[in-house]
Amino acid sequence: MTVRGALRLRMSALGAVLLASGCNTMAPPSAEVACSATLPPKVTLSPDGGTAATTLSVLTFNIEGLSWPARSGRAPSLEQIGKHLAAMRATGTAPDVVLFQEMFSDAAKRAVLSSGYPAIDSGPRRTTRARGSTKDKLPGNSSLKRGEIGVHVYGSGLAIASRYAIVDTARRAYGRKSCAGFDCLSNKGIALARLDVPGVPSLIDIYDTHMNSRGASGAPAARNLAAHERQALEASEFIDRTHDDATPVVFGGDFNMRHSEERWGNFSRYQSLDLVHRICAAPASGCDVRMSWDGDEPWMDTQDLQFYWPGDRVQIRPIRVEALFDGSPGSPQLSDHDGFLVTYELRWKASETRKDACRPIPGTLALGR
């Protein structure tokens, strides 16, 4: 390609970027609530009165919130997602926490807001500084034709919505050398929301991410695989930096590892958290599986996953898994992903239950926005 041709291609690509970004002007959704203004969960005691327990339900849901030219006609379905979650909240059946991905368009942002959750925080914005772990080039060459133009059109598309107060937040955008293909148009990354659940002795760390795709990225296999590995490393580094080991953690999102042994191998080198699918697939786990799982490794058949780890004072384990927005009766299919809903049991010494449900918890970090 001549210099003039390359320049024309770059200007054309930048023009498309400006056109697409100009169609989405709404700020990422945000909402705050005080712990004292939230309803406490139902807490049960063991027969001997020694331990207390409650539940925390977490939905991870890629809402397919892409806008033109990637998608068109998504606004009605996105509106229905917001209305359906709001209706569930009105009847007390909504998830306690929702981890959204692909919240790119204004219609998608409105859907998250209209769900009615009192606490909402978003992931990296379009202009959030990317923080990579390496400056090394990815395999192969970058291409303007597949979106590797050095400019972000969208933010991360991440949002965490909660019925409980979010008392601390942090976010990290993956490095500019850690994306491949059309995924580079989004400032993908990872977000943390630290929850204060009334009565529970410690805070709960909730992480949300959306990692580099494979075929949809348009990038060669070696290139998108290397980008995914770098994001796995950077997510692990972020969790290590922001997470207090005394605090239970849930890490969910769209990990883009379906049917890829290589991606799973790379990811597992950096993460030691327990995988909900793996735990619940064991017959002796006591986990109620209310969805169809095929084969011995059901986690290989989905992009949408959750991981978890206990804290020092509060134990956590999955007790139920089910699909939401999957087309079953009362649960309309409104995205190219089903929602993955996990109900966790939180358990602790009854003597450590916070009597003043929302008093400050020692060790809270001001992580910043």
Range 340-366 average pLDDT:
83
Q: What is the DSSP letter of 92?
A: T
Confidence label for 342 from pLDDT (cuts 50, 70 and 90): very high
- Contacts with 87 (C-beta within 8 Å, 6 or more apart), sequence order: none
State the amino acid at position 20 in one-letter form: A
Note whether 205 and 248 are within 8 A (CB): yes
What's the pLDDT score for residue 65?
A: 95
| Angle between helix 106-114 and 75-91 (nearest 10) | 10
Closest Cα partner for 126 from 146, 153, 107?
Answer: 153
What's the pLDDT score for residue 10?
A: 45
Domain residue extents for the chain: 3-39+61-277+303-313
Confidence label for 296 from pLDDT (cuts 50, 70 and 90): confident
Whether the pLDDT of residue 311 is over 50: the answer is yes
Residue-wise pLDDT for 9-57, tens only, equals 444 444 454 444 555 678 999 999 999 999 999 999 999 999 999 999 9
Q: What is the pTM of this model?
A: 0.92
Residue-wise pLDDT for 113-130, tens only, equals 999 999 999 999 999 998
Architecture of domain 3-39+61-277+303-313: 4-Layer Sandwich (3.60)
What's the pLDDT score for residue 285?
A: 93
Tokens, residue 151:
């400019």
Whether the pLDDT of residue 348 is over 80: the answer is yes
Confidence label for 363 from pLDDT (cuts 50, 70 and 90): low
| pLDDT over 90, % of the chain | 79
What's the pLDDT score for residue 253?
A: 98
Whether the pLDDT of residue 185 is over 50: the answer is yes
Range 94-103 average pLDDT:
98
User: Rounded to an integer, what distance in angstroms lies between the CA atom of residue 196 and that of residue 206?
Assistant: 11
CB atoms under 10 Å from CB of 32, counted, come to: 12
State the amino acid at position 158 in one-letter form: L
Residue-wise pLDDT for 144-163, tens only, equals 888 888 888 999 999 999 99
User: Rounded to an integer, what distance in angstroms lies between the CA atom of residue 240 and that of residue 255?
Assistant: 18
User: Rounded to an integer, what distance in angstroms lies between the CA atom of residue 84 and that of residue 311?
Assistant: 33
Q: What is the mean pLDDT of the chain?
A: 91
